[in-house]
Amino acid sequence: MYPKTVAEIRNAYLSYFKSKNHVHVSSSSLIPAGDPSLLFTTAGMVQFKPLFTGAVELPYTRATSSQKCLRTTDLERVGKTERHCTFFEMLGNFSFGDYFKKEAIEYALDFSVNHLGFPVDKIWISVYEDDDEAIELWVKAGIPRERIVRLGKADNFWGPAGETGACGPCSELYFDRGIEKGFEGCGNKASCKPGCDCDRFLEYWNLVFNQFDQDKTGKLNPLKQTGIDTGSGLERIALLIQNVDSVYDTDELKKIIQSIETLSGVSYTKNNAASFRVLTDHARAVCFAISDGIYPDRTGRGYVIRRLIRRASLYARKIGLKETFFYKLIPVIAEIYQNSYPELKVKEAQVCSIVLAEEKLFLNTLELGLDQLENILQTYLAKKETVFKGVDSFRLYSTFGFPPEMTKELLEERGMVFDEKSFQEELEKDRAIARDSWKGKKESLLTGIESPSITVFTGYHSFSGTSEINLIFKDSNLVNSLQAGEQGVLVTKETPFYAEGGGQVGDTGYIKTNTALFKVTDTQKENDTFLHIGEVLKGEFTPGTEVELEIDSNRRNLLAYHHSGTHLLNGALRSILGTHVMQKASLVSSEHLRFDFSHPNALSTKELEQIEEKVNEAIQTGVEVVTTVLPIAEAKAKGAVAAFDEKYGDKVRVVEMDTFSLELCGGCHVKNTRDIQYFLITKESSPGAGNRRIEAVCGPPVISYFQEAFQALEEEIQALNMQVNELKTPVSELMIRKNAPGPEEVEKLFLSKGAGAVKELRILKAHLSEQLETNKQALFKEKKKQQNLENRDLLSRSDELNQKAIEVKKVRVIQEIFEGEIPLDALKQLADKIKNTGKPTLILFALKTSSNLTLLYMCNKEATKEGVQCNQLLKDTAPIASGRGGGKPEMAQGSAKDADKIQDVFQEVLNILKK
């Protein structure tokens, strides 16, 4: 019985390789460990990169895995083809200095034919163009020569994942799906072969023969041990076995497609397949990514997730789903994958709410942005222009939230070109403006206005609400209307938008009616009047209009974590350092918190640890955050702490967190301290005499902080281990055996221990950093020691070289070519020793390293008296090896490109001397 379903195929693959003595290694996180140059885990080999290059000790020499992967290179093609996905599972078998080409080829063919049941005559092979060895091995294994094709570097050379690492030529297995699968005029031709972009030959397995380690300069250095890295798309195999047209018709993905049908009431047809595929793929990618701790964000990994959610919204709209819908697919994914990836179920509710909030926010402007795009396109068409300018694409991005890549895709559908350069220029301009932001130069809007209204703030408990517009300002003047395209300020009677105050920054979001939309980019307040600052994107606003107000809730949640975290920090400082601690200033943003307070000395590491632990204890204890409004005297009598120079009214709001904190505060807080999740101090410094400053993060950003910190540490550990390995005589005690925890370990620890994980990881991080520092220093000493020994060896060669001297017209000439990493100073010392003979002596040294060729000519005074001039000689001869250089008559130095011409260079020196 051959496997049929995706789950059965996954099992069969892993079992097969386990039976061939491979260790089954679980999938690693979508965040690659120890490789900041790589945004996502893009292949099964990513978690094994250090094992291939020898940067860590080998725990095993054979491994197999089913790895979750995310690739964005073909993101725009997802939906449009039958086989592209961003998220997929890659099956792989790996050898680290164990078996090589022969076995890799035999395993792949045996598994394909005898365990998947693929008819051998349907299998085609591609190999790297000059890999004759691979061809012979395939022939021996049973594939006739005529079904083996040679392909070039673009197809059959696997470059490293990320900037550096293992790579090499590869060989791919293709399944011939039959002539009818080819495009017109391609598959119908007998000449169609693997490598053609049609659907006839489906590549289902890539075998990489790792031989090189690419360094940062792009150079390929031979690997100490060869290796095997194979990768096979699980869904592609399923497609072949289940004999369906598209990966989206394989059993697991089909379940998602069917759920979309049920949830939306729209049937899946050929015409709307693209939308179903995009929703299916992107929901899977987003669900797995957020569960791995990648949250939608403005940059980096988080930006890709935001992009996927927005692209999914666009494609949902194409099948008539204009309301929030995408988030409904998260539980579907969690259900389907609950056995293989139980973490999805654990995080389901959180992921759902994050996706819903993102989706909601974007849906405010999607329709409008599309209209805007259409209008702009009409003006381009009228002028017969096809290059879409940066000012336009930037506006779609900054105002309507259109990721530039999405705009590009929409433009391509219309035969237009996205001008990348001018878009980047606009982006840079905008950053510059943001840098010298006008924030701070607040003018009064309300002076002169009779009885300016007091806004009722409703946002402590709700993120949205309805109210009526009271006042409208444009250019600081009271106006009766604000229209599309105009910037201004809206004042409403009630609002859920928090206005900047008490250190917490203002909310952002939207104010809308059925016909009009206002984007709120900041909220400020003047006395008790809340000012929604932003731009009208659609329609018109007039006083008296009933509006809906809706804040960016994901951002607000982060603000609440950081604000409540600030209170706990203040409480912990007062309980550990003393009640002299007074808040001097504070900043609460969605990314971090900054708290300035009075205290005479820098805090010791121990004090910082105690403070952090105290806050995390309050989080773990999980106490209710209780707010009450009291007369100020009563609040003070209760012991509520007030900020140093804050003004308070007669009645004050008191925020109480059991015994951990009691403060006067008007800000936004979590309901229970447990909601803050985690707290981590990231920095302690002084903002000025007598005061100290603590910076910290709360909530999910703590996880990202550790993931990034360990990623950077792991990279350093690997670099150190490589350097140890590269020593002439490696001292293995200098290697660091312990890996920094990978992103999934960090994530798991937080899941199981909550805030308790902070301490554990902080200690581990300090320990690894310290060990790294110690080992780096020891390595430095060891290098010096080995270098000195080598230099001694080098100097001891002076007699031997002296004996090799040849005499040309009274001048003794000594020539030698050195190889390897020898310091030039050592060569100069050697030359000094040799030339100290009293006889005219000229020394010609060349030093070949992996990256260049250095020429060094030296002579003594006796030689210069005979007319020898090193600088002139070098000038005359270096060009023979495409080199140049200069110096003085007694010593000249240069470099050259053609290392193999070095003998000719030296010969020319002799010729010149002879003349």
Binding site for ligand SER (CB under 6 A): 43-45, 92, 158, 206, 208, 229-231
d(CA 374, CA 371): 5
Say which residue the tokens 């792949």 belong to: 108
CB-count burial class (<10 Å; 0-12, 13-18, 19+) for 269: exposed
Say which residue the tokens 């805007």 belong to: 372
* CA dihedral angle for residue 296, residue 298, residue 302, residue 304, rounded to 10 degrees: 100
- Shortest CB 171 distance to ligand SER, Å: 11
- Shortest CB 232 distance to ligand SER, Å: 8
Query: In sequence order, what are the residues at sequence separation of 6 or more whose Cβ sits closer than 8 angstroms to the Cβ of residue 8?
Result: none
Complex with ligand SER: residue 228 or 279, whichever CB lies closer: 228
Complex with ligand SER: residue 152 or 485, whichever CB lies closer: 152
Complex with ligand SER: residue 194 or 565, whichever CB lies closer: 194
Tell me the two tokens of residue 193.
């072969």
Instruction: Please name which of 558, 443, 556 lies closest in space to residue 508, comparing C-alpha atoms.
Output: 556
Instruction: Please name which of 175, 173, 149 lies closest in space to residue 230, comparing C-alpha atoms.
Output: 173
- Shortest CB 230 distance to ligand SER, Å: 5
- Shortest CB 240 distance to ligand SER, Å: 17
Complex with ligand SER: residue 43 or 761, whichever CB lies closer: 43
- Shortest CB 45 distance to ligand SER, Å: 5
d(CA 529, CA 445): 10
- Shortest CB 71 distance to ligand SER, Å: 9
Closest residue to ligand SER, judged by C-beta, is 231
Complex with ligand SER: residue 44 or 509, whichever CB lies closer: 44
- Shortest CB 805 distance to ligand SER, Å: 54
* Structural element, H or E, at residue 328: none
Complex with ligand SER: residue 206 or 586, whichever CB lies closer: 206
Complex with ligand SER: residue 162 or 452, whichever CB lies closer: 162
The Cα-based distances of 340 to 179, 667, 856 in angstroms read 36, 43, 63
d(CA 478, CA 543): 11
- Shortest CB 158 distance to ligand SER, Å: 5
Complex with ligand SER: residue 206 or 893, whichever CB lies closer: 206
- Shortest CB 141 distance to ligand SER, Å: 19
Q: What is the DSSP letter of 501?
A: B
Q: What is the DSSP letter of 112?
A: I
Say which residue the tokens 């600030």 belong to: 566
- Shortest CB 233 distance to ligand SER, Å: 9
For Cα atoms 487, 493, 495, give the angle at the middle one, nearest 5 degrees.
Answer: 75
- Shortest CB 90 distance to ligand SER, Å: 6
User: Treating both helix axes as pointing N-terminal to C-terminal, what angle do 390-398 and 420-435 enclose, rounded to 10 degrees?
Assistant: 50
Beta partners for residue 855, in sequence order: 846, 894
d(CA 760, CA 609): 11
Complex with ligand SER: residue 49 or 525, whichever CB lies closer: 49
Q: Are 517 and 507 in contact (CB under 8 A)?
A: no
- Shortest CB 108 distance to ligand SER, Å: 11
Complex with ligand SER: residue 158 or 288, whichever CB lies closer: 158
Complex with ligand SER: residue 158 or 394, whichever CB lies closer: 158
Question: Side chain identity at 148, as an amino acid letter?
Answer: I
The pairing of strands 165-176 and 123-128 is antiparallel
The pairing of strands 540-541 and 482-483 is antiparallel
Q: Are 830 and 843 in contact (CB under 8 A)?
A: no
Complex with ligand SER: residue 45 or 641, whichever CB lies closer: 45
For Cα atoms 509, 482, 458, give the angle at the middle one, nearest 5 degrees.
Answer: 35
- Shortest CB 24 distance to ligand SER, Å: 16
For Cα atoms 401, 407, 412, give the angle at the middle one, nearest 5 degrees.
Answer: 170
Phi, psi of 145 (to 5 degrees): -50, -35
Strand runs labelled E in 37-154: 62-70, 87-96, 123-128, 148-151
Would you list the DSSP string of 352-379? HHHHHHHHHHHHHHHHHHHHHHHHHHHH
- Shortest CB 44 distance to ligand SER, Å: 5
Complex with ligand SER: residue 91 or 573, whichever CB lies closer: 91
d(CA 365, CA 359): 11
Complex with ligand SER: residue 170 or 858, whichever CB lies closer: 170
Instruction: Please name which of 503, 508, 504, 492 lies closest in space to residue 457, comparing C-alpha atoms.
Output: 492
Complex with ligand SER: residue 230 or 313, whichever CB lies closer: 230
Complex with ligand SER: residue 165 or 700, whichever CB lies closer: 165
d(CA 907, CA 915): 13
- Shortest CB 548 distance to ligand SER, Å: 48
Q: Which alpha helices (H) appear in 417-508, and where do they start and end?
A: 420-435
The Cα-based distances of 252 to 24, 49, 335, 796 in angstroms read 23, 30, 11, 71
- Shortest CB 222 distance to ligand SER, Å: 19
* Structural element, H or E, at residue 147: none
